[in-house]
Amino acid sequence: MTSLLGAGTIRIDVTVSRALACSVAVKANRPQGLTRMFVGRRPEEAPPLAGQVYSLCGFAQSVAARLAVLNAADMAMKVDERIGSGAGLLAERIFETLRALILHWPSPLPASLGATAGRHLREALAASQEIIAAAKAGQIDRAHLAAAAARLSAAASALGIPSQGDTPLPASACAAMLQDIGDDRVFNGRRPDPLTINDDPEVIARLCHEPGYASLPHLQGRVAETGAYARLAADDVEASHLVQRLLARINDVSLCLKQLTALAATGKYDEASLACGGATPGAGGYGAVECARGRLYHQAEIGGDGRLSSYRILAPTEWNFHPAGPFVETLLSSPVGTDEAAVRSVSRLAVLFDPCVALEVNVREAAHA
């Protein structure tokens, strides 16, 4: 059994017959009904509340909430706020990806890398928090942003993130992870079906009208995936599936660092690739943000009294760990075996899908299920 720290848990029970995964059950145990906290509040209260309620990717949650309530009120985000939002989203996505890899990797890092990895991760946290704090305060100064971005880049580099591409720097934590999974070919490669901005109209319509959609989202005839692998899956069919997923996450951090550096230099970035939104029927609006774990949605409706009459949130984890989603599809029929190596392989796969909650993995023989 493997456990990762977080709010709530995802339990993964794998039943094996003749060494093949013949059944996969995914059960989430997380706080329910949190969106009720938003109803009855003034729209401007939603963004700070979202950032406080959700400990992981709190800034992304607040930006998605801000976009939702602005669109519900038929208002637009001002230029300075858009720049700050972009900087904060990029900084948070970089740190959250690094944090999940360093803290949640199932195998311990070599002793020579463990202590230094912790120090560099703290350096990345400090730099990202500085950028996010400035964005929240509406005080993004491009010179200060450039300096903080440089510190964040240096910390990421020390952990193995290259300045370009997806090959980790030698003698680094990321290089050790790559070596750890290089020979793990338990899982067959699968091309992702990415959840994109083009899916927003259908997703929002279903979110608004289908009870329970936020916990079991779906698109007709598809197994949609979101996150770094969905955004950046390479065509390297020679690499193992786990390697492909790790390299996509490394590449995602590298590209975000480039965007953050360019934003500090020019004040411009590809806004649509990070966040967007729009109006929904009935004095409603939504915001969508590409965070570390994938596409996050907030949807808000404003009542006649000027307060929030309805609020919905759809997290990226719900797509990836859906009972018939990409994680389960990847795992089914894979030759995982039944020993500790099986638990380790399944845990590696789960970590590279990056759930935002604690993780528990159990593997058992069909005869004992």
Is residue 364 within 8 Å of 14, Cβ to Cβ? yes
pLDDT of res. 7: 59
> Within a 13 Å sphere around the CA of 106, how many CA atoms are in the beta-carbon half?
24
pLDDT of res. 1: 35
Burial 167-178 (b: 16+ CB within 10 A, else e): ebbeebbbbbbb
Q: Which ranges in the chain belong to alpha helices (H)?
A: 46-53, 58-72, 79-104, 111-137, 142-158, 173-181, 200-209, 228-232, 241-266, 317-320, 326-331, 340-353
pLDDT of res. 282: 82
Specify the amino acid at residue 167. T
pLDDT of res. 281: 86
pLDDT of res. 97: 97
Instruction: Measure the CA–CA gap between 84 and 142, rounded to whole angstroms.
Output: 10
- The model's pLDDT over 264-298, given as tens digits with 9 standing for 90+, comes to 999 999 999 999 999 998 889 999 999 999 999 99
Ligand-binding site membership of 174 (annotated): no
Weakly modelled stretches of the chain, pLDDT under 70: 1-7, 235-237, 368-369
Instruction: Measure the CA–CA gap between 165 and 162, rounded to whole angstroms.
Output: 7
Strands 20-29 and 9-17: antiparallel
- Please name each of the domains of the chain with its CATH number: 9-368 (1.10.645.10)
pLDDT of res. 233: 82
Instruction: Measure the CA–CA gap between 107 and 341, rounded to whole angstroms.
Output: 11
Using CA atoms, how far residue 16 sits from 97, 184, 339, in Å, is 31, 18, 11
pLDDT of res. 236: 63
pLDDT of res. 206: 96
Instruction: Measure the CA–CA gap between 295 and 67, rounded to whole angstroms.
Output: 14
- The model's pLDDT over 102-159, given as tens digits with 9 standing for 90+, comes to 999 999 999 989 989 999 999 999 999 999 999 999 999 999 999 999 999 999 999 9
Ligand-binding site membership of 94 (annotated): no
pTM here is 0.94
pLDDT of res. 239: 82
Question: What's CA 226's distance to the chain center, in Å?
Answer: 8
